[in-house]
Structure 1
Amino acid sequence: MSERVMPGRADGLISLSAADALWVDVTADGAVPTASGAFTCSPAHARVGYVLLGGHVVATVRASGGQWSVAEAEVRRAAAELNTVGMDRQDLVRIGPFRGAPRHERHEETPLRWRRRITRELHELGGPERAARREDGRPYHLAGIDWRQILVEQTRDGAQRTWWLPRAVVRLLDAAEHTETQWVQAARTRPAGAAVTEPPSRPRQARDADGRQTGPEVSLRLYSGELEGQLYSVLSRMLGTSRRVAGWACAVCRTAPATVLDHCHEHGYVRAPVCQSCNTQERADHLYSNDIRVAGRYTRLFDTDAVAWLRHWHRCPGCRARTTLPLPHLAAWTAHTACRSLRPTHRAPGGRKPCGVLRVSWTGSQQAPSSCLLTVTVDFCPSGEHRVLAQVPYREAAEQFRTWLAETAPAVAAAAGPDRLDGLPDRPRSVIAETSGEGLALF
């Protein structure tokens, strides 16, 4: 039972232990699982003046007698915001492990760094199953969210373990990390003895097309093409770039703080700053370096949210001038869209369903388009009768894409073409080495 505000209590303050209980009590019916210890267990930092609750910063104060306290109204407000967040447990984002650890500038370090914390704890405890049986009884939480309840472990190629969280939670934790960074930076510049104010870039609630609240939206600068035409290999090595990126809202969803400088791996040009969730959704699902599994997210990339993603991909001057997509994305589009009518269906409960799982591979590369061939196949056909659906030459696939682009996103198509930009090489060349889909391009 949570501790209630008593009449006459100064500023409606409650103890940290009471705030722990209140947080769990008020969020019990929300979609995102929460944990006790949000104020009293690591990585909570109540004794340095604040605690993260979801994407919200709650200030703590030292009351008479040296006891740390927090305003009950602020805890309730953070809980109410979290309760509006919907979560699809099937819409997952890979959070690790990756071959290269993200690099951050030293002055930007803040205590949360949730990806590092999860990776470290899972390595120390031997994976999610042992993590779920934590022997010391200490609660797991990041910004008051119990991540162990929703962490998913998958095995790739029979050996490599990967860890995943629902996209809504990834966006929450990214927003919390950004909000904490802003809070710490503001605290450093605050005059001694000055009163604590609301944190900068305080989260608001984003709304979907139906008016429902879906998650945190941070008051950040909207990206307006300030980095257009710059090479990632140059920009990523400049001091202060990651801090500059963190000041923008994601150029795709516009609701989360940007954490990644997305770039075209074929031409090397910067596209835009994006959040980790959008960057993961956009990344091609490589099975091998020249083989892609056409996953469910391509429905959003090429159907429901096609215009936004096409505009984002064409922020690369190389792709825009050639009116095409990077080869992995063009291959996925060919399988998902151009060859849709070729995919057979099978009878299933509730009606007919598409056959198996789509996969597309290619021989050659976009640097030699006359010899590049895309092969669309079906894996896991229930009857075992369908395999190769189509073989499409690269040039034919590119021409089909141009036609589709003009119909689907006329404004994007009108801004593309070889007469739009001068000075590009006649043939694409890789400025940034391909990372086989594992690199997240973090600083």
Structure 2
Amino acid sequence: MEAADVLWAELTAGSAVPTASAAFTSFPADGRRGYVLLADRVVTTGQVGSDRWSVLAVEVGRAAADLTAMEMDRQDLVRIGPFGGPKREPGEGILLRWRERVTRKLQASGNSGQDARGEGGRLSHLAGIDWRRVLVERTSDGGGRAWWLPRALVRLLDAAEHAERQWLHATQNRTKVAELSSLFGQARAADGRERKSGPTTALRPYNGELKDHVYSVLSRKPGIARKVAEWACAVWGIASASVLDHCHEHGYVRAPVCQSCNTHERPDHLYSNDIRVAGHYRRLFDTHPADWLRHWHRCSGCRARTTLPLPHLAAWTAYTACRPLRPTHPAPRGRKPCGSLRVSWTGSHNAPRSCLFTVSVDLCPSGEHRVLARVPYREAAERFGAWLAEIAPEVAAAAGPDRLDGLPAQSRPVIADTSSGGLELF
């Protein structure tokens, strides 16, 4: 394992993602579990002595090659906490649960500049990555702290957590199959009859069981986190769900989703009414728009009003409706879009006549900071309705003011403040 540490450090020396110098021998890595997590790969380990464990160098090389090929923009940040919600007891390295680990380490140290250490004072890393070197801490006017990491690193750690969960699930299944085979083999030897094993437990597809439920009520029910984990992610359907995604404006549950999807669709807030329109919106509005639109319109309030929550509508307006207005600059290969796209708004969706989106460009290479457009909320909503009918006609057909029959008889209050206890994502 000491030699693997040296190899990992050498192979990732030129990576944009900072790596730990002791990826195999420092907490929480432990080869005795049968695997070590490197970036988004699960590298298996084997016992070669009474207390010695080894790993194949070729597996380390593959993980290092994937990592060094990654690009990371250190200015494109995503808030990773703290978000509140119920706390779970510290794990023994299974599963990674990297957000909980980071929050726990930073809260314990009281200062993000101090070393975040694990058991016995050993340095703590995440899947071989030294996250402390790219962590950004910001303090609000009220004195509260918030921690941010580059978006590319957040995606990588989400993928690592998903890969570890899948590996453990497959290992547990193989163990169960081996045990069942042994038991059935003994039974066949005893009575001479062939027996078949029963069906294995699979994740349930989500079929709208939580439609019209209010998140602030449902999230307080005992055992809801365990029930959520029984569903497959309602967006991609391949991973186990871990959170209940909900509309922060209307308060309705959308669906159970995996942590990766929940992070991916969350707008990148700079302030409470300001969003940086980064590259991940390309997937939401260009590559797989019908999937996300179907998911967002699981909220009864958004579906009845044929619109999106205010931050999502603002991002859509900036990315889709105002993209042709964005200036470009000469680049080695053609022309490059100017600076960083940003959208802010005044007012609220509750007062659409006074709500206004302002789309602008920051960090212009020529030193300009220019406003591209000012779009009233109602105009943006009308544009979105037309785009929705073109991109996802099935979703548009289920929306509109004449589709109120599925809503509760008594209207739900709009939740304006989602920072109080019990309303944030758990």
Give yes or no for TM over 0.5.
yes
- Shift of the 141–376 alpha-carbon distance from structure 1 to 2, 3 Å rule, reads closer
Q: Tell me the distance in 2 between the aligned counterparts of 1:430 and 1:373.
A: 23
Residue 164 of structure 1 aligns with which residue? 149
Aligned 8 A contact 1:35 1:139 in 2: no
Q: Tell me the distance in 2 between the aligned counterparts of 1:409 and 1:423.
A: 20
Gaps of 5+ in 1: 1-18, 198-218
Identity %: 54
Aligned 8 A contact 2:234 2:256 in 1: yes
Q: Tell me the distance in 1 between the aligned counterparts of 2:237 and 2:377.
A: 33
Task: Give per-residue Cα distances to partners, 1:233-288, cap 9 Å, x unaligned.
Answer: 12211122112222334333445443221100111111122233322222222233
Question: Matches of residues 29-428 of structure 1 in structure 2 within 5 Å?
Answer: 29=11, 41-44=26-29, 52-54=36-38, 56=42, 67-68=50-51, 87-90=70-73, 94=78, 96-98=80-82, 100-104=83-87, 111=93, 112-122=96-106, 131=115, 138-143=122-127, 145-148=128-131, 151-153=134-136, 162-164=147-149, 166-175=153-162, 178=165, 220-347=203-330, 350-381=333-364, 387-422=370-405, 424=407
Deviates more, 1:53-62 or 1:311-320: 53-62
- 2:273 alignment partner AA: N
- Shift of the 380–95 alpha-carbon distance from structure 1 to 2, 3 Å rule, reads closer
Task: Give per-residue Cα distances to partners, 1:271-311, cap 9 Å, x unaligned.
Answer: 12223332222222223323323223222221223222212
Deviates more, 1:224-233 or 1:421-430: 421-430
- Shift of the 432–68 alpha-carbon distance from structure 1 to 2, 3 Å rule, reads farther
- 1:114 alignment partner AA: W
Aligned 8 A contact 2:241 2:259 in 1: yes
Aligned 8 A contact 2:48 2:54 in 1: no
Deviates more, 1:355-364 or 1:315-324: 355-364
Q: Report the CA distance between 1:70 and its aligned residue.
A: 5.5
Q: Report the CA distance between 1:176 and its aligned residue.
A: 5.7
Q: Report the CA distance between 1:349 and its aligned residue.
A: 5.2
TM-score by length of 2: 0.71
Q: Report the CA distance between 1:403 and its aligned residue.
A: 0.6
Q: Tell me the distance in 2 between the aligned counterparts of 1:383 and 1:157.
A: 31
SS in structure 2 of the partner of residue 307 of structure 1 = helix
Deviates more, 1:340-349 or 1:121-130: 121-130
Aligned 8 A contact 1:53 1:78 in 2: no
Task: Give per-residue Cα distances to partners, 1:99-138, cap 9 Å, x unaligned.
Answer: x4442466x956444323333444666766654999x994
Aligned 8 A contact 1:298 1:336 in 2: yes
- Shift of the 258–423 alpha-carbon distance from structure 1 to 2, 3 Å rule, reads closer
- Shift of the 132–318 alpha-carbon distance from structure 1 to 2, 3 Å rule, reads closer
Q: Tell me the distance in 2 between the aligned counterparts of 1:253 and 1:93.
A: 24
Q: Report the CA distance between 1:352 and its aligned residue.
A: 3.6
Aligned 8 A contact 1:228 1:271 in 2: yes
SS in structure 2 of the partner of residue 90 of structure 1 = coil
Aligned Cα RMSD in Å? 4.7
Q: Report the CA distance between 1:41 and its aligned residue.
A: 3.9
Q: Tell me the distance in 2 between the aligned counterparts of 1:182 and 1:46.
A: 18
Q: Aligned residues, how many?
A: 391
SS in structure 2 of the partner of residue 369 of structure 1 = coil
Task: Give per-residue Cα distances to partners, 1:302-324, cap 9 Å, x unaligned.
Answer: 12232222121112122122211
Q: Tell me the distance in 2 between the aligned counterparts of 1:302 and 1:360.
A: 16
Q: Tell me the distance in 2 between the aligned counterparts of 1:137 and 1:240.
A: 34
Aligned 8 A contact 1:27 1:82 in 2: no
- 1:363 alignment partner AA: T
- 2:156 alignment partner AA: V
Q: Tell me the distance in 2 between the aligned counterparts of 1:431 and 1:20.
A: 56
Q: Tell me the distance in 1 between the aligned counterparts of 2:234 and 2:382.
A: 28
Q: Tell me the distance in 1 between the aligned counterparts of 2:65 and 2:203.
A: 23
Aligned 8 A contact 1:260 1:442 in 2: yes
SS in structure 2 of the partner of residue 163 of structure 1 = strand
Q: Report the CA distance between 1:347 and its aligned residue.
A: 4.3
SS in structure 1 of the partner of residue 353 of structure 2 = helix
Aligned 8 A contact 1:260 1:279 in 2: yes
Q: Report the CA distance between 1:404 and its aligned residue.
A: 0.8
